[in-house]
Amino acid sequence: MSNKSLVTATLIVVLSLSGLIPARGQTPAQDGQWSTPFSLPLIAIHSAVLPTGKVLMFSAEHGVPGIHAWLFDPASILGTPVLTNVPPPTGWNPDCAGHSFLPDGRLLVAGGTLQFNPLLGSKLAYLFDPWIEQWIQVEDMRAGRWYPTNVTLPDGRVVTMSGINDTDGGLNPDIELWDVNGANNWELLGQKYIPYYPYLHVLPSGLVFRSGPDSQTETFNPATSIWTPVDGTNASARFEAPSVLLPPTLNRVMLIGGYTGGSSLPTNSAEIIDFSTGTPTWTLTAHMGFRRMEFNAVILPTQKVLVVGGKASADGSPDQPVLTPEIFDPANPSWDQVAPHQIPRMYHSTAILLPDARVLAAGGDFQPTGEIYSPPYLFQGLRPTITSAPGWIAYGSNFALGFTSATGNNRVALISLSSVTHSVNMGQRYVLLAQGLAAGGAVSVPAPASGYLAPPGYYMLFVVNANGVPSVSQIVRVGERIPGDLNCDGMVNASDQSPFVNALLDPAGFSGCAILNADMNGDTLIDGQDIPGFVAALL
């Protein structure tokens, strides 16, 4: 056994005796199950699930010298992990950047590390294109950003804020808007000094809610650049902790764990604010079984929230890793402890939901490894199977979904592809579409009404049966209709000609995205008046 393995084994024994890994005798149907840890060629400080189903990971140093970016295929974990090297361009260190997805599935990565000692942020910005697996440089921001947060708005544009600048190491006050169609990609919306890696969520109202990491919470209106204070949190601060937009209403935000600063111990408390009430107020909810900071939270297809990793010790004290994850049930506020993972996942670790409903946990300083968690629902009976689904779901439409299920009372939901770093998941979102569906066949499912409920982009479409067992997801694109795109692949090209002719001859034979996109002139009729518009769209 290597010295590192011996240290890890000894640590696990010590933690078991201390209660940070409780003794367990339950089955996978109760606790879930972890894969054997596998090696990675980097520390997964940043992780993002792409529309292709692969996971983009990138980082620098912290146990693996150099600057790295790799694609990991989670389907390959049944054998030797399949990894593809996609190194960041020379001269740019994306470590400690902010990132969120554009509607077309590309990942916008803003900022990063310009230098250490003194620490300065980078003002560079790049897109990662998942279809060609390449980095594309875009316009620089006004100033550097190290530890910024990105958030995708209901219209598909992206706001980025906070981070350490590239001149004197102070906070960057610029609030910038990325618009792929703008005369300049970056537009200054205003200025405000905000703690780095702020916790940002888009509410159904279209407002951006900042829920931390300090105790001051507030909303930002991107249309007017006006900030409005909201109730302060019960905790004086929650640094190095996740914030979650709770399913299924999208009006509630939960803060979990974290530390208040200095030498204080992290907390095990959690609190929720509800924007559906007249006066939103932070209210404490059920406490976790363990104090945690430097951990991650993942929304599951069951609407529950899994927390993974972290440490129970204060900064500056010897690390006390927490190896036992917990699952929170928003419908019946409580925490269940589940099967422990083997490797400590603390600072610079990530955890993210995979398209097959498993969870990837990876990284942490000096941990170039990953583990995959199969939650209890994967051991509780047959999974539903999606037999047909569109590639594109247009706002305000109904789409045809085919599935099989062993039970009645099935529900259909979207979970956004998202990206995570430093406990901050930039865009994690659960959107309930339908429930109470019979045991399979072909059904018509309502799409989200607009980007206020589901900002445009790619989502994992799940069917979940009455026992809480999810299907493997179908990755779909959600957004505004594209007139002329009858096969709903996000483009207008020659492959749409035959469906368009058929729609003219028999409109009743089409539904969902296809019938919406056949109406070229927007008069709700499919007829000869739509032909000129279709021809123009092809050119």
Range of the domain at 400: 385-479
Return per-residue pLDDT of the chain as tens, 539 residues. 344 444 444 444 444 444 455 545 589 999 999 999 999 999 999 999 999 999 999 999 999 999 999 999 998 666 667 999 999 999 999 999 999 999 999 999 999 999 999 999 999 999 999 999 999 999 999 999 999 999 999 999 999 999 999 999 999 999 999 998 777 789 999 999 999 999 999 999 999 999 999 999 999 999 999 999 999 999 999 999 999 999 999 999 999 999 988 778 999 999 999 999 889 999 999 999 999 999 999 999 999 999 999 999 988 888 999 999 999 999 999 999 999 999 999 999 999 999 999 999 999 999 999 999 999 999 999 999 999 999 889 999 999 999 999 999 999 999 999 899 999 999 999 999 999 999 888 999 999 999 999 999 999 999 999 999 999 999 999 998 788 888 776 678 898 899 899 889 888 877 666 777 888 887 778 989 999 999 999 88
Cα–Cα distance, 446 to 269 (Å, whole number)? 37
Q: Is 511 helix (H, G, I), strand (E, B) or coil?
A: coil
From 435, 454, 479, the end of a domain falls on 479
Number of domains the chain is built from:
2
Residue 511, both tokens: 């539904």
In 10 A of CB 414, how many CB atoms?
Answer: 22
Q: Is 450 helix (H, G, I), strand (E, B) or coil?
A: coil
pLDDT at 21: 55
E strands within 132-281? 134-138, 149-152, 158-161, 174-178, 186-191, 200-202, 208-210, 217-221, 226-230, 243-246, 252-256, 270-274
What is the distance between the terminal CA atoms of the chain, rounded to a whole angstrom?
Answer: 65
Residue type, 381: G
pLDDT at 512: 63
Q: Which residue has the tokens 């058929």?
A: 502
Rounded to the nearest 5 percent, the helix, strand and coil shares of the chain are 10, 40, 50
Which among 180, 187, 101 has a CA at the least distance from the CA of 142? 187
In 10 A of CB 238, how many CB atoms?
Answer: 29
Domain harbouring 400, CATH code: 2.60.40.10
**Which of 21-58 are b and which e, b meaning 16 or more Cβ less than 10 Å from the residue's Cβ?**
beeeeeebeebbbbbebeebebbbbbbbbbbbbbbbbb
pLDDT at 24: 54
pLDDT at 13: 44
| Residue 77 in domain | no
Residue 387, both tokens: 């037999």
**Which of 157-177 are b and which e, b meaning 16 or more Cβ less than 10 Å from the residue's Cβ?**
bbbbbbbbbbeeeebbebbbb
User: In the chain, what's the furthest Cα-to-Cα distance?
Assistant: 76
| Residue 401 in domain | yes
pLDDT at 348: 98
Please say whether the beta carbons of 55 and 49 come within 8 A: yes
Residue 470 sits in the same domain as residue 502: no
Residue type, 55: V
Residue 472 sits in the same domain as residue 400: yes
Residue 463 sits in the same domain as residue 439: yes
Residue 443 sits in the same domain as residue 417: yes
pTM of the full structure: 0.90
Residue 474 sits in the same domain as residue 504: no
pLDDT at 9: 44
